[in-house]
Structure formats: structure tokens, C-alpha cells
A = this chain, B = another copy of it.
């Protein structure tokens, strides 16, 4: 336990998830309990809110509404995509941050995001240290991409994975309804790592999922893709369900829309609308002369709180709680990580401290040995990895049959 009294602030950064607010709830509720934390702030739109001195006064919120944050999707205090310049190039923003921290006597800083955000948190922490401002800086992980290193998995991933697997099962059912041929191509988020697309394999192992799954970890070859599809169509009587990551790239490193922008010589400079699924669906239609549907899970996969995993919500909340506890106990420059422990064959999550510099800007991909069937399916190892994470439901309470999300007062702190 350290004895430094001061205010705490939480900022959030990057794309939201179904459970990023659960982590905020963890930070806020735990921070409000801590005697050494004199005030709790929520930075509006992450680091930008701190630079602009735009905070919500969390002390004025009702506990009941803070609890409801656990089941409110997206980022209630607002997120941002803002990368600090390297300190040796431009230190103006760092100095501004320090000024604001001093003004409000902020001694506990929590930053909730992916690997970029962990880098930001790390940079700020270093600058404060060098400037002699004692401040405990902790990272709280978040990303549907599941691509942070060292931690077993990331808050936000399991709920998005549950959305992908459940919806794939429903789509499989829907795509089987007619006795006519039908190809369905579903695009899943993930620019570099295929974790979320991999989750569609959970549906395949239930017998109600994609026949073919393409991750960005494997180079995407169009000709192989067509012959993969052809083989499935023969075997499955004209039906084929495909999951493809938005991040698949050809041998030259081009995403599908880029590939086609190049290939499509007749287009006279017209850029085709639509993403990977739409473009592939269109090509398959031409090639196989069959009904094809391109579907994009779009933002629904990251904000589908109604399909949140209970394990995920619990862990996301605990990540926030543990970050506060670690900071007040004197820890700094760590991210809360998850370590998987199996006790009597049952999954158990142990919360660990991961040095920020080890996660900053690093990226964890799906192990290549988990990608089987000539790059079109995930192995049972993946299923064993993912299944414990998607257990249980944890959706918002209903009001008039619709989700009752948190309603914060959002009282602005006077500058």
C-alpha cells in the first residue's frame, strides 16, 4: 500500500466492445471505495479529454447506474484514436498532460485499450516519472481482436466471439431453408489477426457453421478459394457457408478490395463499393452462376451486448477492479493480464500484471498450427481455447422489452 493521496482518472481508447464499459465500471466502483483516491474522473474521449480538461465527475454518479455499465455496450465516456508523438519529436502534449494532472492532483491513471493504448499509457508514465510527478499508471486491456501478447486473451474478445459463433449457427440454419444452391460469404472483423473469424469455427464444431474459414494469418489465394468452394458445393449439394476475415491479403499483401481495384481493368477508374464479403460474393456469383449472399457482421459484432459472455463481462469488470487495487498498492507501468488455469478440469482466470512495455505495439496472431484443412478450418485446440471464454449470458436488464443501458448523469468537471 502506498500512501499517495490523489485523484484517479480513466480514459478509453480505440474501437469499443460490448464490455469496455464493464471495465470502466470496475475502475470507477473500486476507485470510489479506495480511501487514498480523493476523486474519480472519467476522461471524455480518452487522452483528448485530458488534453482538453474535459472530464465527467464520477463521484456524482449513482452506484446503480455505474453497475449498469457492466451491461452497456460501447464506451459511455467516449473513446478516441489519438497516438501521442514520440517524446523526442514533440513533447507539447506530454507537458500539457502533466499540467492537467498537476492541476487536478491526479495520481492514479488508468488507460483502457489495445496495444496502441498500452503504448500511450507507457509513454505517459515514463514522461511523468522523468518529470518527477508521482503517478501510478495502469493499463486495462480491451480488444475484440484478441491480439495482445502475454495475456491469455483480452476482454471484449469472448463476447464478440460469442456473437460470431451464435450468429453463424443461426445463419447456417437460415441458409439451409431452401433446397436450391446457395453460397453465403460472411465477413468478420480483424485486420491482422484472425481470432474473431476463428470463432466461427465454434459453430462448425456444432455442425452448424462455415464450411470454409479464411484468416489473415494465411495468404489468400483467389484460385485456391474458388476450388475450395467448388469442392464444398459438390459435397454439400450446392450449399456453402464461408467465413472470411476482412484482413485476408493476397501474396502481394493487398486486401481483397485492393486486389479487385487492380484486377478490375474494365472499371475505368470506378472503385467498386463494398468490402471483402460483397466483392467475393459477386465473384462467386459470376463463377458458379448460383445464388450468393455477402454478409458483413459490421459493428454489430463488437456492440452486440445482448450476446455478451458472462465470463467476459466478469473478467472485464475484474480487470478494472484489479488495476485500481494494483495502483493503490503501489504498482505502476503494468497492464492487467489473464492467465488461464485449469482447476479440476474447470477453467479459471488468474489476474496477472504484465509490464506495459512488453505489450505495447506487439501483436499476437492465431498460431499457424491451429489452422488446418489447408488453411480453411480451425483445429480442436482452438475450440478448447475459446469455449471456456464464451460461457454464460450477461445481457442488460429489459425495460419495455428492450435493453436498459446505464444512464449516467455525466456531470462535467468545471475547468
Instruction: Report which A residues bind B (CB closer than 8 A).
Output: 15-16, 44-45, 48, 72-76, 78-81, 162, 165-167, 169-171, 173-179, 184, 202-203, 206, 208, 266-268, 270, 272-274, 278-279, 282, 293, 295-296, 298-300, 302-307, 309, 387, 390-393, 398, 400-403, 405
Contact partners of A170 in chain B: CB under 8 A: 73-74, 300, 303-306, 403
**In the complex, are the beta carbons of B79 and A178 less than 8 A apart?**
yes
* A79, closest chain B residue (CB): B177
Contact partners of A309 in chain B: CB under 8 A: 401
Contact partners of A278 in chain B: CB under 8 A: 273-274, 278
**In the complex, are the beta carbons of A306 and B306 less than 8 A apart?**
yes
A199 to chain B, nearest CB (A): 10
12 A-B contact pairs sorted by A residue (CB < 8 Å): A44-B179, A73-B174, A75-B177, A79-B177, A167-B300, A169-B405, A170-B303, A174-B299, A273-B274, A274-B278, A391-B400, A392-B401
A173-B74, A272-B273, A299-B293 are contacts. A179–B405 as well, Cβ < 8 Å? no
Contact partners of A15 in chain B: CB under 8 A: 177
Q: Told that A73-B170, A169-B405, A295-B298 touch, could you supply 5 new A-B pairs with CB distance under 8 A?
A: A166-B403, A184-B299, A266-B270, A293-B299, A295-B300
**In the complex, are the beta carbons of B304 and A179 less than 8 A apart?**
no
**In the complex, are the beta carbons of B173 and A303 less than 8 A apart?**
yes
**In the complex, are the beta carbons of A171 and B79 less than 8 A apart?**
no
* A400, closest chain B residue (CB): B387
A165 to chain B, nearest CB (A): 6
**In the complex, are the beta carbons of A177 and B267 less than 8 A apart?**
no
A270-B270, A273-B272, A402-B202 are contacts. A298–B293 as well, Cβ < 8 Å? yes
How far is B16's CA from A80's CA once the two chains are assembled, in angstroms? 40
How far is B179's CA from A176's CA once the two chains are assembled, in angstroms? 42
* A398, closest chain B residue (CB): B393
The 7 closest A-B pairs by CB, nearest first: A74-B173, A174-B303, A390-B401, A170-B303, A391-B401, A273-B274, A274-B274
Name the contact of A74 in the complex, choosing from B174, B203, B403 (C-beta under 8 A).
B174
A209 to chain B, nearest CB (A): 10
A412 to chain B, nearest CB (A): 14
How far is B325's CA from A154's CA once the two chains are assembled, in angstroms? 53
A282 to chain B, nearest CB (A): 5
A273-B282, A279-B273, A295-B299 are contacts. A167–B304 as well, Cβ < 8 Å? yes
Contact partners of A387 in chain B: CB under 8 A: 400-401
A12 to chain B, nearest CB (A): 9
How far is B274's CA from A272's CA once the two chains are assembled, in angstroms? 9
A34 to chain B, nearest CB (A): 28
How far is B298's CA from A4's CA once the two chains are assembled, in angstroms? 54
* A14, closest chain B residue (CB): B177
A219 to chain B, nearest CB (A): 24
Name the contact of A178 in the complex, choosing from B78, B282, B304 (C-beta under 8 A).
B78
* A389, closest chain B residue (CB): B401
Contact partners of A302 in chain B: CB under 8 A: 174
A316 to chain B, nearest CB (A): 16
How far is B162's CA from A184's CA once the two chains are assembled, in angstroms? 24
* A305, closest chain B residue (CB): B170
Contact partners of A305 in chain B: CB under 8 A: 170
Contact partners of A74 in chain B: CB under 8 A: 170, 173-174, 176-177
How far is B268's CA from A266's CA once the two chains are assembled, in angstroms? 9
* A407, closest chain B residue (CB): B207
How far is B399's CA from A392's CA once the two chains are assembled, in angstroms? 10
Name the contact of A300 in the complex, choosing from B73, B76, B171, B401 (C-beta under 8 A).
B171
How far is B270's CA from A272's CA once the two chains are assembled, in angstroms? 9
How far is B264's CA from A47's CA once the two chains are assembled, in angstroms? 43
A211 to chain B, nearest CB (A): 17
Name the contact of A78 in the complex, choosing from B75, B179, B303, B401 (C-beta under 8 A).
B179
